[in-house]
């Protein structure tokens, strides 16, 4: 059963491209927010359609506008299939997780729940600390530029 799942996952990833599968939904969400900003006049030069993003490093190799349009068309052609495969993968992962947790005793499930919550709290604290550090670094950078201006 597990081999069958992994074979399906491997075929899906190879068929659509590992990078495309892992980054497209994030890019779609980012681009839709960029498109909304562009419509409001807050950002990009032109309003981009969701998914209108070149693969990594393509912008660095001198892609023409015609090539860019063709790439966007190709990406659009596969978007629905990629989303469907990602949903299928998420469903399989959820099913696997449920089966694995089904093996645990009630006491182990409670312990797992508390350990998971603790891990999430630590991760949130670490993220918050990193954000504070980043904000502090930005403030220091702006102080430095103010000093440089004087």
CA 88 to chain centre: 17
Q: Closest by alpha carbon to 133, among 145, 121, 141?
A: 141
Torsion of CA 16, 19, 24, 25, to 10 degrees: 100
What is the reported pTM? Answer: 0.49
Task: Work out the angle between the directed axes of helices 2-16 and 18-40 (0-180°, nearest 10).
Answer: 50
**pLDDT for residue 5:** 61
Question: pLDDT truncated to tens, each residue of the chain (150 aa)?
Answer: 566 565 655 555 555 454 454 445 554 444 444 444 444 444 433 445 666 789 999 999 999 999 999 999 999 999 999 999 999 999 999 999 999 999 999 999 999 999 999 999 999 999 999 999 988 888 777 655 555 555
Which pLDDT score, from 0 to 100, does residue 141 have?
72
Q: What is the pLDDT of residue 4?
A: 56
């Amino acid at each position: 059963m597990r081999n069958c799942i992994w074979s399906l996952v491997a075929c899906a990833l190879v068929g659509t491209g590992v990078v495309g599968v892992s980054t497209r939904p994030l890019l779609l969400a980012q681009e839709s927010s960029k498109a909304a900003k562009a419509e409001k006049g807050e950002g990009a030069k032109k309003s981009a359609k969701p998914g209108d993003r070149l693969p990594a490093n393509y912008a660095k190799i001198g892609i023409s506008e015609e090539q860019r349009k063709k790439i966007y068309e190709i990406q659009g052609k596969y978007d629905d299939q990629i989303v469907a495969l990602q949903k299928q993968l998420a469903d399989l992962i959820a099913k696997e997780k449920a089966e694995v947790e089904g093996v645990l005793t009630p006491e182990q499930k409670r312990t797992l729940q508390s350990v998971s919550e603790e891990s999430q709290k630590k991760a949130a604290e670490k993220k918050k600390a990193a954000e504070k550090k980043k904000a502090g670094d930005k403030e220091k950078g702006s102080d430095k530029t103010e000093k440089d201006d004087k």
